[in-house]
Structure 1
């Protein structure tokens, strides 16, 4: 059995309490509800009441630990009960853009087929704290790097800030991958200049991020999957 002193427990809670009090979102609020298992902590209740009781009304419902469970049950019965969510992070992928002299750093320059490209550009899907409606979809198009390619792997990156420019910026991390499985396509009847385009649709407004994809040339559904666990 592990025993901890009250002083040690206080030290464990200090980072969470201090971070909460520094968030700009707590300014201008009139009511503050404490719910969930963490809200049962007398230490957290005291810290929140001490910090906010003078500027807003702090409400601690009965059975605060069951509030999240009840909400999950209600959501299971009617998923449309939550119509808008806020994105907890900024999500995007790394892409190549045309290199602009004086704007992009030299170390990002990639010369490919006689053209200058800037690597590691962070293409944003949604921004941190952005309101995302239920069923809202973000669409992007991708092309295989070579003829006959049977699989496209797209890395997803995230950041706690909105001012991301490159996937190599401080605080940006790889958080998932999108896999697109391509059927074999007969290129003999298609002009070589027309690159194969795969249109991916990502849904961010639900309890999880979902992805579907379509081959634009054939209008066939492409097998698509998203994985946030293997990172």
Structure 2
């Protein structure tokens, strides 16, 4: 079908080129300054329900306040340029003061624009786990500030309890899902 219209070039030793790039990166990771994210990454959150903007089946009423469930909070969009060490900052609050572990599911999609974690093509791809034991404080509302670092060969997470300035053990699991 394309015969005669275009030339297809298949370079020799493609595997060797990839291997050379991996070795150079291993020797000096700063050689790669920017990557493109292959997927859109984010989490599901509750947002204030807005009539006409949010679907009625996503509305949740809690303590007299209307919330929209399953909203996709985007960290990084697909095909977005991500600099080495670029961070995304979010704050999370334990549901109860006695809560010891906060588990946040990470979702991904090939699409750049995602509205809800229940949209077609969105799938759970990992879990962010924050161990907040040992950071208890008398504050009525505990805020755990989380930094996720993108742009490297893996996504890393760090977290701090804002009230006590104590480091919170943070880990991301993309294998166990």
- The normalised TM-score by structure 2 is 0.93
CA drift at 1:102? 1.4
CA drift at 1:183? 2.3
Matched residue SS, 1:178? strand
Structure 1 stretches of 4+ with a deviation exceeding 2 A read 49-54
Counterpart position of 1:154: 104
Q: Which has the higher contact order (CA 8 A, sep 6+)?
A: 2
Q: Distance in 1 between matches of 2:5 and 2:21?
A: 27
Q: Distance in 2 between matches of 1:163 and 1:180?
A: 27
- Point out the structure with max Rg over C-alpha: 1
Q: Distance in 1 between matches of 2:86 and 2:70?
A: 26
Counterpart position of 1:83: 33
Answer yes or no: is the 8 Å Cα contact 2:79–2:112 preserved in 1.
no
Q: Which has the higher helix share?
A: 1
Any unmatched runs of 5+ in structure 1?
1-46
Q: Distance in 2 between matches of 1:141 and 1:50?
A: 58
Matched residue SS, 1:70? helix
Counterpart position of 2:169: 223
Q: Which has the higher strand share?
A: 2
Q: Distance in 2 between matches of 1:229 and 1:135?
A: 22
Answer yes or no: is the 8 Å Cα contact 2:77–2:113 preserved in 1.
no
- Which of 187, 211, 214 is 2:157 aligned to? 211
Counterpart position of 1:173: 123
Q: Count residues with an aligned counterpart.
A: 175
Any unmatched runs of 5+ in structure 2?
none
Q: Distance in 1 between matches of 2:33 and 2:68?
A: 38
Matched residue SS, 1:213? strand
Q: Distance in 2 between matches of 1:51 and 1:153?
A: 54
Q: Distance in 1 between matches of 2:61 and 2:5?
A: 56
Matches within 5 A, 1:84-99: 84-99=34-49
Q: Distance in 2 between matches of 1:90 and 1:79?
A: 24
Q: Distance in 1 between matches of 2:66 and 2:5?
A: 54
- The normalised TM-score by structure 1 is 0.72
